[in-house]
A = this chain, B = another copy of it.
Amino acid sequence: MPAEHDIAIFLVGLATLLAVARLLGELSRRLRFPAVAGELAAGVFLGPTVLGRLWPGSVQWLFPKGAPAAMLAGYTLLSAVLLLTLAGLEIDLSVVVRRRREAAVTSFAGVLLPMALGFGLGWVLPDVYLVDPSRRLLFALFVGTALSISAMPVIAKTLLDLGFLRTDLGLLVMAAAMIDDLAGWLLFSLLVGPMHGRSAGFAQLGLRMLAIALFVAVVIGLGRRVLDRVLSALEADRMSAPGRVLSLLFVLAILGAAITQAIGIHAVFGAFIVGVAIGDSPRLRTETRAVVHEFVSNIFAPVFFAAVGLRVDFIASFDLRLVAAVIVVACIAKVAGCTLGARVTGLSWREASSVGFAMNSRGAMEIILALVALESGLIRTPIFVALVVMALFTSLLAGPVMQRLLRMRRTTSLRALAEEGAVLPSLRARTAEQAIRELAHALAAGTPIDGNVLAESVLEDETAIACGLSDGVALPHARIADLPRPMLAFGRAAHGVDVNAPDGEPARLFFLLLIPESRAAEALSIYVVIVQSVATEEQRRLLLEATDRAAILDALGRGETASLPELRYVE
């Protein structure tokens, strides 16, 4: 056990890092930046960049070398491992398989161009930026790889905020980003060994490639199926808390990390692959994922990113020309590559370019990659700083640009609202209250919102139950304080449900409309569009007779007579 003083210092350092990182992370989110920007800023503030200048002794006191540093390093290592596991969990191989053609084209172009331009940039940068100019080939390959990865979690978040995650466009972007991530990390894993100055002879490299291929094949090919069985046994007991699965996930992630670390690739790669294998199992309950997500993003990740900020003096190592060059090359290469790829698959230029900007986000993944390269002695601090700034910049850029590009997609918005929300072709409900519950649960599924809480919030407003319009339509609606965006669920009850309608007719078409408090002003216009969409006998017949989800969505799209004025793409 380390000495008493070391323990106290470790605890103080950890508490400080987490507290400041979480505070700045929340602030960052409130300013509509990604949380990682604030978390990183916490480290920049507590480290040599700010505090170290103002009060030089303080940084050495708070984060001394020796035992406290080792304990903190253990913690940040675990954080990186868990972060990558979480990133792996979010990869849904079935989405990739379903969209394989479009996604392959988009991601191929989106990797090739950044790889080429990044390699070029690495090749022409002055010697002063290189640790060892004699290893320029390796360096240039790294810059190419660094520019070609995407940041799946950031992209998913941007799409979710904009209400595109479950649309065709969103699925294409996600599938392409997943391929990018897999390819990028595979490439990177090949570079890490030689980075350590180990002999990069062909035999050596071949052996390492073989080991990686074997690891990936065993984990994804065999391990995935075994895991699916194990999880099916563990998660079948629906009464039990997710404890066993949590332990299993943690053990496997750490083991995967240890194995790749031993092969000579970085630990995070193994954790990522294990995450992919586990996350792919449909047996993994949403609840379990949520618990992991909560812990990683609130306890581990902020400390990791703050620790990144601690590592270098961001002012001293900030080289404006280098930063500008990296950002310009990164953005042009990725946006152009992905846009071209997406255009080839048949999207309009406008949609294709929104795909390009979405995939341009680098976020946390780039930061982890840059850190590993810095630690491996492959890059110097100015390149590290440039990559970190580029990662943040591209992540910030995606949202606003996509908003602007997609603002014109107005005419499909009722359809999109339902597509993004929930469509239930046959409700089981026998009462209005039950129908509201059913729709609320469907809306909440797949979001962090609790279905019960949502239903209760709607039902607290008594007028929600008395929601019957005429002609068998019911339109319960409610304002909900902390909803991320307007949400719509549509459901049909062929048997008819008594909703106390003015014409006494039982309702067979249900729309549940939820509006965030902050956007209450939009409620009426959406309400009107819904009413118009079921105004005629013909429209209602189409909706009632549609045979599946797709047909219902088409009917909603066709039935829509007015456009929703800037419904979702303007904040």
Known A375-B1, A453-B239; contact A7-B77, beta-carbon cutoff 8 A: yes
Inter-chain contact A70/B2, CB cutoff 8 Å = yes
Query: How far, in angstroms, from A113 to B75 measured CA to CA in the complex?
Result: 43
Query: How far, in angstroms, from A165 to B255 measured CA to CA in the complex?
Result: 40
**Stretch from A205-213, A289-297, A537-545 at the B interface:** A289-297
How far, in Å, is A288 (CB) from chain B's closest CB? 9
Instruction: Say yes or no: is A405 at the interface (Cβ < 8 Å to chain B).
Output: no
Q: Which of B73, B295, B483 contacts A291 (CB 8 A)?
A: B295
Tell me which residues from 243 to 259 in chain A have a Cβ below 8 Å from any Cβ of chain B: 243-244, 246-247, 250-251, 254-255, 257-258
Instruction: Say yes or no: is A4 at the interface (Cβ < 8 Å to chain B).
Output: yes
Inter-chain contact B18/A254, CB cutoff 8 Å = yes
Known A2-B70, A481-B239; contact A294-B297, beta-carbon cutoff 8 A: no
Inter-chain contact B10/A74, CB cutoff 8 Å = yes
Interface size class of A (residues with CB under 8 A): 35 or more
Known A70-B74, A71-B71; contact A482-B240, beta-carbon cutoff 8 A: yes
Inter-chain contact B261/A7, CB cutoff 8 Å = yes
Inter-chain contact B243/A297, CB cutoff 8 Å = yes
Inter-chain contact A247/B480, CB cutoff 8 Å = no
**Inside 8 A of A19's CB, which chain B residues have their CB?**
247, 251, 255
**Inside 8 A of A241's CB, which chain B residues have their CB?**
290, 294, 448
Query: How far, in angstroms, from A127 to B440 measured CA to CA in the complex?
Result: 70
Give A394-437 as 1s and 0s: 1 = Cβ < 8 Å from B's Cβ atoms.
00000000000000000000000000000000000011011000
Q: Which of B8, B73, B243, B375 contacts A261 (CB 8 A)?
A: B8
Quick one: copies of this chain in the complex?
2
**Inside 8 A of A74's CB, which chain B residues have their CB?**
2, 10, 70-72, 74-75
Inter-chain contact B237/A481, CB cutoff 8 Å = yes
Known A244-B298, A291-B291; contact A251-B18, beta-carbon cutoff 8 A: yes
Instruction: Say yes or no: is A299 at the interface (Cβ < 8 Å to chain B).
Output: yes
Give A247-289 as 1s and 0s: 1 = Cβ < 8 Å from B's Cβ atoms.
1001100110110011000010000000000000000000000
Inter-chain contact A294/B246, CB cutoff 8 Å = yes
**Inside 8 A of A267's CB, which chain B residues have their CB?**
7-8, 11
Inter-chain contact B7/A302, CB cutoff 8 Å = no
**Inside 8 A of A554's CB, which chain B residues have their CB?**
none
Closest B residue to A372 using CB positions: B1
**Inside 8 A of A262's CB, which chain B residues have their CB?**
8
Instruction: Say yes or no: is A15 at the interface (Cβ < 8 Å to chain B).
Output: yes
**Inside 8 A of A298's CB, which chain B residues have their CB?**
243-244, 246-247, 250
Instruction: Say yes or no: is A196 at the interface (Cβ < 8 Å to chain B).
Output: yes
Query: How far, in angstroms, from A295 to B300 measured CA to CA in the complex?
Result: 12
Instruction: Say yes or no: is A26 at the interface (Cβ < 8 Å to chain B).
Output: yes
Q: Which of B244, B302, B433, B449 contacts A26 (CB 8 A)?
A: B244
Instruction: Say yes or no: is A532 at the interface (Cβ < 8 Å to chain B).
Output: no
Instruction: Say yes or no: is A463 at the interface (Cβ < 8 Å to chain B).
Output: no
Known A8-B261, A247-B298; contact A254-B453, beta-carbon cutoff 8 A: no
In the complex, besides A4-B196, A67-B73, 12 extra interface pairs with C-beta distance below 8 angstroms are A7-B267, A8-B262, A14-B254, A18-B247, A18-B250, A22-B251, A70-B70, A237-B482, A239-B450, A239-B481, A295-B295, A434-B434
Q: List 21 A-B contacts (CB under 8 A).
A: A2-B74, A4-B261, A7-B77, A8-B258, A8-B267, A10-B77, A11-B77, A15-B254, A22-B244, A26-B244, A67-B70, A71-B74, A71-B77, A72-B74, A237-B481, A237-B482, A238-B457, A240-B448, A247-B298, A250-B299, A451-B452
